[in-house]
Amino acid sequence: MVAYSSLYNVTSTTDTLPSGGGREEDRLSHNSNRNTQSPPPEHFSAQEIGGLGDRAGGGLGEDANKGSLRWPYTWETTMSNPEAEAKKELGNKAFSVKDYDEAIKQYTAAIAIDSKNCVYFSNRSACHAGKKDWENAVKDAKECIKANPTFIKGYYRLASAQSEQNEFDLALSTIKQGMAIEADNNQLVKLQRQIKARKASSKRAKSLAKSASAAGEPGAGGLNLMDSSVSKEVADLQQQFVSTSKEYQQVRAKISYQQRERKSNEITKREMEKLPASSDSKTYMCVGKMYMLTSRDDVMSQLDESITKSTKEEEDLSGKLSYLERRMNGQKQNIQELTKSAAE
């Protein structure tokens, strides 16, 4: 019997330790670690492959083959350069402690030695993303894709950063290109879902701000008839309204997350309760990337603690959501009153 929770993956077995799903980087990039006859993403020729999209971020992609793209789009792999790999490892160590400047320095040195290895560009892109330098992050993500058009991590980075810049349509287009290579990649599917949600949230916020402003306009007057001081005050209120709307949507998303976590842990707990207390079955708890042999009682205690924590967090967030809703209504009313008084 196996039960899983996003916080505590608990597996019961009578003999062997269950195997995990591997690293995220391995799952993201496994398609690039084999030769392929697949063409690069549609809409891009071999010469144009480096020119797509804008901006990327994310975690490190640890390894991938390097080579050259030749007609008919056959990826020819070669061995990694030991000297460049040594620089990459130094960069990885710096990245792990969030010393992004040092990591960038080491990855740049690796690129100077071997400019055809997509991983070096991918990792340097991650460093720029860690610094929220999206412009340079996208440049390296594009170079990563140019070096290896089948390296899924490159598309993931590009789409992530496009989303951070609120370029949702471009981000979704980038994901589509990645899915043309690997349609069922879990990380791309998850990112696509998140970006669609952010796009919808942003659209609602803009619509609310527009309606709040328009609601106070008696006709063709509106902001054009206001003096500069009132116009500035209305503009400030509109900006505050948009900011509050975004925060409101973020809190709603956090509430949904806590609800999912609580339900997931409750399901896991029910599965664990089916195991007799005196059972010889071994139970393992997944913490990060490691499985730990854990007693049934300890697992149950951890699950209870997580359920309680999620419940409290959900209650606190619900209170904050109510507050934000009242603030939005107040801001909307102020905008309406100002625009109305200015037009009278």
Farthest-apart Cα atoms in the chain, separation: 81
Question: Using CA of residue 104, residue 107, residue 109, residue 112, what is the dihedral sign?
Answer: negative
Given a cut of 60, is residue 338 above it in pLDDT?
A: yes
What predicted TM-score, i.e. pTM, was given to this entire model? 0.45
Average pLDDT of the chain to the nearest whole number: 74
DSSP H or E stretch at residue 76: strand 74-78
Question: Using CA of residue 290, residue 123, residue 133, residue 68, what is the dihedral sign?
Answer: negative
pLDDT in tens, 254-277: 999 999 999 999 998 898 888 887
CB 257 within 8 A of CB 306: no
Under the banding of pLDDT at 50, 70 and 90, the label for residue 227 is low
Given a cut of 80, is residue 243 above it in pLDDT?
A: yes
Which neighbouring-strand residues pair with 283? 12
| DSSP letters spanning 133-179 | -HHHHHHHHHHHHHH-TT-HHHHHHHHHHHHHTT-HHHHHHHHHHHH
pLDDT in tens, 161-198: 888 888 888 889 999 999 999 988 999 999 999 998 88
Instruction: Give residue 211's pLDDT.
Output: 67
Scored b (16 or more CB within 10 A) or e, 254-270 reads bbeebeebbebbeebbe
CB 258 within 8 A of CB 313: yes
Given a cut of 90, is residue 86 above it in pLDDT?
A: yes
Mean pLDDT to the nearest integer, 234-248: 85
Which of 143-152, 170-179, 200-209 comes out lowest in average pLDDT? 200-209
Under the banding of pLDDT at 50, 70 and 90, the label for residue 341 is low
Most confident of 68-72, 74-78, 321-325, 330-334: 321-325
CB 133 within 8 A of CB 57: no
Which of 22-36, 176-190, 223-237, 306-320 comes out lowest in average pLDDT? 22-36
Domains in the chain, ordered, with CATH? 39-180 (1.25.40.10), 202-343 (1.10.287.370)
DSSP H or E stretch at residue 283: strand 282-287
pLDDT in tens, 275-298: 887 767 788 877 777 888 888 888
Q: Higher-confidence residue: 134 or 78?
A: 134
